[in-house]
Structure 1
Amino acid sequence: MVKVIASSVRKGNVLEVDGHLCTVLSAESFFPGKGTPTTQIDMRRIADGVKVTQRYKTTEQVERAYVEDRDFTYLYQDGEQFVFMNPETFDQINVSSDVVGDAAPYLQENMAVTLSMFEDRAVAIEMPQRAVLEVVETEPVTKGQTASSSYKPAILSNGVRTAVPPHIGVGTRIVVMTADGSYVERAKD
């Protein structure tokens, strides 16, 4: 265990809180004009999956567990488990849907991800920033309308809803951010 200040904690870190290991889901620092700056950390306990929220002074010390980040390749989903393979040893590992969380819809076959391992157990996943997906449902393209500030709703091949520019039609492959599903650009393939 290593002591670090609360403001340096990031998503995916593993902390020890009250004797339990917790994976950080989000960490946000608040700097009010008056008063003490604080950092609010949303976590999930690894043992039982319970969500916990803690608020610390930004300079307060927290216990950070040592986790090893290893590269894996996503293979397939088996019920509630996601199967990943170590590209060096070809060992397969099952990761529960609690660990994968919001990243699940963006996982694609043979996608390279980084898993944070603690005592040979995956405790957090780091996805590539962007994924290429196909638009399966959206309003028809309006002729003569170029990219403007107005976006239209669309459903992607992974079932996620997003907003796309008016010139994007059904069947178009687009690049989206895996963090929130937002449109980046038309795919270049």
Structure 2
Amino acid sequence: MPKINGNEIRPGNVLEHNGGLWAAVKVDHVKPGKGGAFAQVEMKNLRNGSKLNERFRSADKVEKVRLEQKDQQFLYEDAGMLILMDTDTYEQVQLAADLLGERRPFLQDGMMVVVEYHNEEAINAALPQKVTCKIVETEPVVKGQTAANSFKPALLDNGIKVSVPPFVGPDEDIIVNTETFEYVERA
């Protein structure tokens, strides 16, 4: 694995530090009036989700880890495990459902998921950025309510609540951003 200097750390980099795998979430370069410059790095453990703030000077060396990304198709869920199929080898893989976190409800049958591996261990899974969902319940349209930024709550078929524009009604398909949980457009 390549070693990089402490001042070369960027958000999104995966580092091997203190015997664990950490993703750099936020990086601030600080130049105090007295003493040498350093990078203040907020990191998240990829295995257990704990957070850590660490200072790295430019002379410090850290291991930068490359994760292997594979496209895999979601088949079904069984006892808290997601069953995915590698589309190249047709091999089935089991991953813990909590790997997706709060984005889990957006997972749909047959959806392609990008799984990141480190030495054959699944570290992270990413859904497509936009997903089509059906509105189950929302308030009726109020005639004359055409204010520029007025939104109303809506319940989706997967149990997630989002805010939608007033012209969107029940039983309509909409596209939702899986990262921000926001309405994007009608499907």
Q: For residue 85 of structure 2, what is the aligned residue in structure 1? A: 85
CA distance in 2, matches of 1:61, 1:158: 45
Return the offset for 1:132: 0.5
Q: Moved runs in structure 1, 4+ residues, more than 6 A? A: 31-37
How far has the Cα of 1:97 moved from its partner?
A: 2.6
Q: Where in structure 1 are there 5+ consecutive unaligned residues? A: none
The change in CA–CA distance for 1:20 and 1:152 in structure 2 (over 3 A counts) is: same
Q: CA deviation at 1:168?
A: 0.9
Task: Look up the equivalent residue of 2:157 and give its one-letter code.
Answer: S
Cα distance per residue 1:110-166 (max 9 Å; x no partner): 111111111212111122110000111211122354573011111111111111101
With over 3 angstroms needed to count, the CA separation of the structure-2 counterparts of 1:159 and 1:14, relative to structure 1, is: same
Asked if 1 retains the 8 angstrom alpha-carbon contact of 2:30 and 2:40, the reply is no
Larger radius of gyration, structure 1 or 2?
A: 2
Q: Partners of 1:125 and 1:175 in 2: how far apart?
A: 20
Work out whether 1:156 is the aligned partner of 2:153. Answer: no
Q: How many residues align?
A: 181
Q: In the alignment, is the contact (CA less than 8 A) between 1:6 and 1:61 conserved in 2? A: no
**Larger CA deviation: 145-154 vs 37-46:** 37-46
**How far, CA to CA, are the matches of 1:18 and 1:33 in structure 2?**
25
Q: Hey, what's the Cα distance between the residues in 2 that align with 1:179 and 1:123? A: 18
Deviations 1:37-73 (A, max 9, x none): 8554341352xx2512224459665422222111101
Would you say the 8 A contact 1:147–1:165 is kept in 2? no
The one-character-per-residue Cα deviations of 1:16-47 (angstroms, maximum 9, x if unpaired) are 1201223x3x712447898768554341352x
Partner of 1:65: 65
Distance in 1 (alpha carbons) for counterparts of 2:134 and 2:147: 19
Aligned alpha-carbon RMSD (Å): 2.7
Counterpart in 2 of 1:111?
111
Of all paired residues, the percent bearing the same amino acid is 33
Whole-angstrom CA distance in 1 between matches of 2:95 and 2:62:
27
Hey, what does 2:10 align to over in structure 1? 8
CA spacing shift, 1:139–1:81, aligned 2, 3 Å: same
Q: Given that residues 175 and 183 in structure 2 are in contact (C-alpha distance below 8 angstroms), is that contact kept between their aligned partners in structure 1?
A: yes
Cα pair distance change 1:3/1:151, threshold 3 Å: farther
TM-score scaled by length of structure 1: 0.81
Equivalent pair of 2:11/2:27 in contact (CA under 8 Å): no
* Cα distance change, pair 144–125 in 1 and its aligned pair in 2 (3 A): same
TM-score normalized by the length of structure 2: 0.82
Q: Name structure 2 gaps, 5 residues minimum.
A: none
2: CA distance between counterparts of 1:33 and 1:171? 55
User: Which AA in structure 2 matches 1:51?
Assistant: S
Distance 1:31 1:136 in 2: 47
Aligned to 2:42: 41
Residues 38 and 14 of structure 1, relative CA distance in 2, 3 Å threshold: closer
